[in-house]
């Protein structure tokens, strides 16, 4: 009698786990980011898959009102051509000197019309202004107003090809990172050139930074240089988060 009950319980558990596994797989029938055989990264990928399956896909991050705008620390790189840096970026120094008149954001990879956009080009596209909360992995948070062009607009203009799955970003402070198409086409994912009603200040990523509002702050890359649309997951190599010990997906 006791054994019967045990088997039943086990069957329920196994049945439940199989069902959950099936849901996971069907929700992410496409490939997941690699785990590098690393148990920490496996847990990150599991969190990513769970969020993909369990969270509503088109949900927007909370937007605040103007009076909620708060003080905002600038951390990480605050000037890519700071002479105190180990490797100040000379190209960026030139662009900064010219007030970014010569700055171009190139869009390459799996797009029908690769090209480059000046600041004026981006400002000509329809803009979006959002007041959102920036949450840093360190534990602090700040609310700011961001103005920019939705990334989806730029990707539409460039004509992303059907095989495109990830969008990779490169910055002047030599970081590389990617986001999936769900985040790339999300309405609040913008290439921001304005902050709190003014041009994006140097410490916050001038002239253009990314905003990815459903992930932690470090996904919103500052000092954008280049965008590449890819089919394969790109960890950014030695300039990426993974090889520097950081999680790729930080929706938590």
Partner 1 sequence: MAQVVQANLHSSTKADSRTSGHTRWVRVSHWIITASFLTLAFTGVVILMAHPRLYWGDVGNDLTPALIELPISRNYKHGGWDKVESFFQDAASPVSANRTYDIFNKNGWGRSLHFLAAWFLFAVGAIYLLTGVFTGHFRRHIVPRSSELEPRLFLQDFRNHLRMKIRASTGGPQYGLIQKCSYFAVVFLALPLIVLSGLAMSPAISAGYPILQRTFGGFQSARTIHFFAFVALIVFLLVHVAMIIKSGFKRQMRGMTIGGRHEK
Residues that bind partner 1 (CB under 8 A): 9, 13, 39-44, 46-47, 51, 55-56, 59-62, 68-75, 78, 133, 135-143, 195-198, 201, 203-204, 213-216, 244-247, 250-252
- Which residue's CB is nearer to partner 1, number 116 or number 244? 244
CB of 252 to partner 1, least distance (A): 4
Q: Give the alpha-carbon dihedral of 237, 240, 243, 246, to 10 degrees.
A: -160
CB of 133 to partner 1, least distance (A): 6
Q: Which two tokens stand for residue 8?
A: 């039943």
- Which residue's CB is nearer to partner 1, number 47 or number 118? 47
For tokens 């240089």, name the residue: 225
Find all residues with CB under 8 Å of 153, minimum gap 6, and list them.
125, 126
CB of 198 to partner 1, least distance (A): 8
Q: CA triplet 138, 142, 148: central angle to 5 degrees?
A: 115
Cα atoms found within 13 Å of the Cα of residue 51, Cβ hemisphere only: 18
Q: Identify the three-state secondary structure at position 192.
A: strand
For tokens 């990172």, name the residue: 177
- Which residue's CB is nearer to partner 1, number 155 or number 247? 247
Q: Which two tokens stand for residue 135?
A: 């949450």
- Which residue's CB is nearer to partner 1, number 160 or number 247? 247
CB of 60 to partner 1, least distance (A): 6
- Which residue's CB is nearer to partner 1, number 90 or number 138? 138
CB of 186 to partner 1, least distance (A): 9
- Which residue's CB is nearer to partner 1, number 208 or number 228? 208
| C-alpha distance from residue 186 to each of 11, 103, 173, 183 (Å) | 40, 25, 25, 5
Listed residue (102, 97, 79) closest to 89, CA to CA = 79
CB of 82 to partner 1, least distance (A): 10
């Amino acid at each position: 009698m006791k054994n019967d009950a045990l088997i039943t319980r086990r069957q329920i558990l196994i049945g439940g786990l199989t069902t959950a596994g099936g849901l996971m797989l069907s929700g992410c029938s496409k490939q997941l980011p690699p785990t590098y055989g690393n148990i920490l990264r496996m847990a990150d990928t599991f969190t990513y898959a769970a969020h993909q399956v369990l969270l509503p896909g088109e949900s927007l991050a909370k937007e605040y009102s103007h009076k909620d705008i708060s003080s905002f620390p600038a951390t990480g790189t605050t000037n890519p051509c700071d002479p105190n840096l180990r490797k100040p970026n000379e190209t960026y120094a030139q662009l900064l000197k010219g007030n970014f008149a010569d700055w171009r954001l190139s869009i390459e990879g799996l797009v029908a019309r690769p090209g480059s956009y000046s600041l004026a080009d981006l400002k000509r596209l329809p803009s979006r202004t959002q007041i959102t909360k920036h949450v840093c992995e360190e534990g602090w948070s700040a609310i700011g107003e961001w103005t920019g062009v939705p990334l989806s607009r730029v990707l539409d203009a460039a004509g992303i090809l059907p095989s495109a799955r990830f969008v990779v970003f490169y910055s002047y402070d030599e970081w590389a990172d990617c986001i999936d198409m769900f985040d790339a086409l999300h309405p609040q994912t913008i290439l921001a050139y304005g902050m709190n009603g003014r041009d994006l200040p140097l410490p916050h990523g001038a002239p253009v930074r990314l905003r990815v509002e459903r992930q932690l702050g470090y996904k919103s890359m500052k000092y954008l240089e280049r965008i590449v649309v890819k089919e394969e997951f790109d960890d950014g190599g030695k300039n990426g988060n993974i090889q520097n010990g950081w999680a790729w997906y930080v929706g938590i």
